[in-house]
Each structure stands twice: as structure tokens, then as C-alpha cells.
Copies of this chain bind each other. A is one copy, B any other.
């Protein structure tokens, strides 16, 4: 049987969810259907916190109430074939769907590195599937020696969480000499490393795993320096690749990166097919090069554009390109990064000036709960335009990075930041004389 659908959305993560809701907002007369292959999905960024912070992992379920409330149908099935000329999707169950507009939001798959022994029991990629994750959590709570592979955000957050479970030794292995090296300059990475070490995590930076040891079940790892370690569980946190099989098999182009090529309105080469989120290619804000940013927040921004423009172009998409904008939490230490770091800007070939400042996030600093806050801003030397920023501090640093992100997206200049009008309050922010975003801009301006 062939079912006719107005808007068919493949994928039930944040990208699919927001595409569906936005589609219904703009085109209320169209029926919108979400097809997802996992019964219970997860809030992606909440996955590490299912291991310890959340006493009940089910709290991290990606709720579908918003879909039901908006009269959006959810089908549990998997799209296996796309026929573009017939505008038809065939699902694993054999059902067929004819769409007017199709949104591809199947996300990404965790990378399984080609290391000897990778298929042994006890080595866990992070799939966004509630039942799968709950099974791992149960197993991991009985583990003794856990290795986290990869020192990016996922690896760091997993290491922090799992180190809080009693009687587990946590090792974090990263090929590069620093953790979070793609998003932070060394002085910030150092703070994360110190915090993890003081929480009992053993850091193995500049270290490569060459073999997983043991029979069926993992018993240890061997590193490139010849050393071996007794390990009973491994979590793979070395990144993901876009899910593009369905698209490429139907002849849709990929961009110069690995994602599906999309235009400014998230349309693929076929104007009736959109792609959003991890599966879609992204162009860098600064260089227009393809960039591998995979973030739920980016995915939702794209989904809002796609959903609005399905039948008629409605939301003017000013092509600002994608910025990498992240925040993380390591045992109470909050870090944020937006845009380019000093290292990545120089590598890219930009002539830059950086400005630094350190302050306290309340004033006076003796108020309860005050934290040091440190801001670094990166400006283009000639134009004085903000290109990136990093912050470390307490809880409020999680929104300070969004002030910086807004400024980057608006191409704000160092002069505008120096004379910014901001709200300050003893319990909430640094003193007005010491507001870190302004003072870091001043520091950069002094060097120009």
C-alpha cells in the first residue's frame, strides 16, 4: 500500500523534531509525518549525564509530546530506499510513502575506528537509542577499568561522569597532546585537564590505541608506545560520520565535506528534498569551506529554516555560515567556545589579535558561589571584527558564550564591544568595571 504524505521527515532527533513542528507552523494544512527507526530516542547532549547525574536515565528521553500536540504522526520504521522520480520512500517494513516534500534528518553514526579487536564485547559506540544506552549503563556500573577513547566534548564529559561512579578507574585516551584541542586554546584545555585529573581520571594524551586485547570480551588495550593496560570497558567518543546512504543511493550530491549538499534554504540538489542536521553539509562562517560541525543546536537552527521554506521560500536565510559554538561542564567547571580559536585562526591563515581578561562572576567576589571567569576573544587584526571567543567560569559562562556567539554572527567590531551596554548585578555578573567580554575586547584593542 502506498501512503500519500505532504511532508515526510526521516529521523526523529532534534533536527527531525524541529523540522516537523516548524513545517506544521508554516503549513498547517499539510499532513506531516516523522519516520524514526528508534522507539525511544535520547536528548543527544544529555547522553553522558545518563550515567551518573540523572538518577533515572529515562529522564533523558527525547519526548514526542510536542509532535502529538501538533498533530504530527510518528511512524517507527526505517527508510531503506528513495525513488526521486516517483517521489517515494520505501520503508524496511515494506510500506511505501509518497511525499510532496521530504526532509532528510537521519543524523550521524559514531565512528568505529579500524583498530584490531574493535568488535570485542565491552566496546561501546554511543548510539542515540534509549534501550541500548540503558543496557550499557547497567553493564558499566559493574566495570572496574573503563577507557574512554577520544578527548573531545563527548570523551571529556563521559570521563567526568563515569569518574563519579564508585570504584571505577577511568582512563581518557587522546591522540593529540591536548584535550578539546579543536575548540580551545592550550590555556583553556589545561584547565579541563587539571579538573579531570583532580577528579581521578588518568589522562593519556598523545596516545594512540593500537589493539584491543582479550578473547570475545575485552580484557585490555595496547598503545602505540607499547604499553598495555587492563581494561574491561571502552566507550568510543571519537566522532561521527553523516548518515548519507539513502541520499547518495538516490543520486543526491554530497558537498566537498561528507554531508549532503544543501543550498541556503537547506534544499538538496532536488528542490523537493531538504536535508538538515548532522547528515547535511555545513559551510564555515569564515571561509565557506565545508566544516564538520555536528551539534544539536546547529541542527535545530537548520531545521527552523527548512521547515519554513518547504513549499515557498519564506524565511530569508542570510548566509552567515556555520560557526562552531559549544559549551561543556566538567565537574563544576564551565567552558564555552564560539568560532575560531587562536590556534585554528592562525592555521587557517588569519592575521589576528587576541584579548584576554580574568574577573570574578559576582561582585564583590566574596558573595557566595562566586567563580573566576576568564574570557579570550580573537579579532581580525585589520578589520577589528570578532572571529572567536572562549570562556571558562561558573554556570553563567554557559550563556556568556552565547553573547559572544551573537556578536560573532553580527560581525561586531572591537570598538562596539568596548562600548557595549550590559546589565550587571552583584549576584549575577562581574562588576561593570570588570565585565569580562568588554575587558577582553579592550585588551585586544590595546594590542592593535
Contacts and interface: CB of A to CB of B under 8 A. Distances in A.
A405 B422 contact: yes
Interface in A188-240: none
A296 B59 contact: no
A427 B315 contact: no
- Specify how many copies of this chain sit in the oligomer: 2
Interface in A409-425: 409-410, 412, 415-416, 418-425
A367 interface: yes
A290 B61 CA distance: 52
Given A60-B364, A364-B60, A406-B406, A315 B418 contact: yes
Given A327-B424, A416-B318, A299 B432 contact: yes
A53 B334 contact: no
B17 A433 contact: yes
Contacts of A151: none
A301 B419 contact: yes
A328 B426 CA distance: 9
A291 interface: no
Interface in A315-354: 315-318, 322-323, 325-329, 334, 336-338
Given A316-B415, A429-B399, A446 B299 contact: no
Given A398-B396, A399-B396, A421 B17 contact: no
Q: Which of A300, A363, A416 has the most CB of B within 10 A?
A: A300
Nearest to A297: B432
Nearest to A55: B366
Contacts of A442: 25, 304
A399 B410 contact: no
A295 B425 CA distance: 10
A401 B405 CA distance: 14
A421 B409 contact: yes
Contact of A398 (B305, B338, B409, B427): B427
A265 B317 CA distance: 36
A45 interface: yes
Given A300-B433, A403-B406, A367 B53 contact: yes
A176 interface: no
A164 to B, nearest CB: 13
B426 A43 contact: yes
Rank and list the top 7 A-B pairs by shortest CB-CB distance, nearest first.
Answer: A398-B428, A399-B399, A297-B432, A329-B427, A327-B423, A59-B366, A327-B425
